[in-house]
Amino acid sequence: MQHPAAAHGFWLNAIVLIISIVIDGLVLWKVMKSIGKETRSYAKGWTIVPTAFKHVSKAAPPTRLVFYEDLVATLGGALALVAVVVTSFTSFELIDGISTLLIGLLMVGVAFRVGYDNMVGLIGVAAPQDVEERIAAIILADVDVTDIYQMRIIQEGKYYHVEGLIELRKGLTLAAADDIKFRVRDKLLEDSDISDVTLGIIEDNGVKNWAPELTAKVALK
């Protein structure tokens, strides 16, 4: 920025940057669609873009990494193209240094974001509410389950670890209650995002412990 210089070879620079933007943009679009599939948001058309930004934290680590990298590559190419065009046709040469600094800041920001996501993946965090609702709906869909006494869901990377204490209808034998517990566990493990399930069972205590609003969305996809 202190010593700006005029750009040379406009057409070569422009063509290379346009090709780069198109290729990285197509990869970015594809990974945005992958985020929608992995997070079960099922967006279509241009709604894929805001949906990808909203749900990227729920995607698999490799998908998030490609998303962040191609986002920087596409935006960086666009900034560089703007700088080339402006410096070639105007005397505002300072924009070349400004765009370079902005690209550098984008790269630093992505590095921090990827590092943060990796840290969260190693430590584990509470699952989002929509995931909790989906898992609760699967559990309560069983005819012999009357309530969820308590439940804890930890997210590590893309996968979820479920621990819960479920209430069963009264009058069951221990053998029958065990069969129900394993049946519910197996149903949960059918979900590809759930890696392990630990369930305990108690008899229905007559008190509604699980909030109704958490099971309002019974979307068993």
Mean pLDDT of the chain: 85
Structural domains present in the chain = 10-123 (no CATH), 126-215 (3.30.70.1350)
- The per-residue pLDDT for range 147-197, each reduced to its tens digit, is 999 999 988 777 889 999 999 999 888 899 999 999 999 999 998 888 899
pLDDT band at 7; cut points 50, 70, 90: low
Sign of CA dihedral 121, 122, 128, 134: positive
Query: How far is Cα 59 from Cα 166, in angstroms, rounded to an integer?
Result: 28
Q: Which residues contact 105 (CB under 8 A, 6 or more apart)?
A: none
pLDDT value of position 30: 94
Look up the pTM and report it: 0.65
Place of tokens 């068993």: 220
Core vs surface per residue 196-209: b (16+ CB within 10 A) or e: ebebebeebeeeee
- The per-residue pLDDT for range 87-135, each reduced to its tens digit, is 888 878 788 888 889 999 999 998 888 888 777 766 767 778 888 888 9
DSSP 71-84: HHHHHHHHHHHHHH
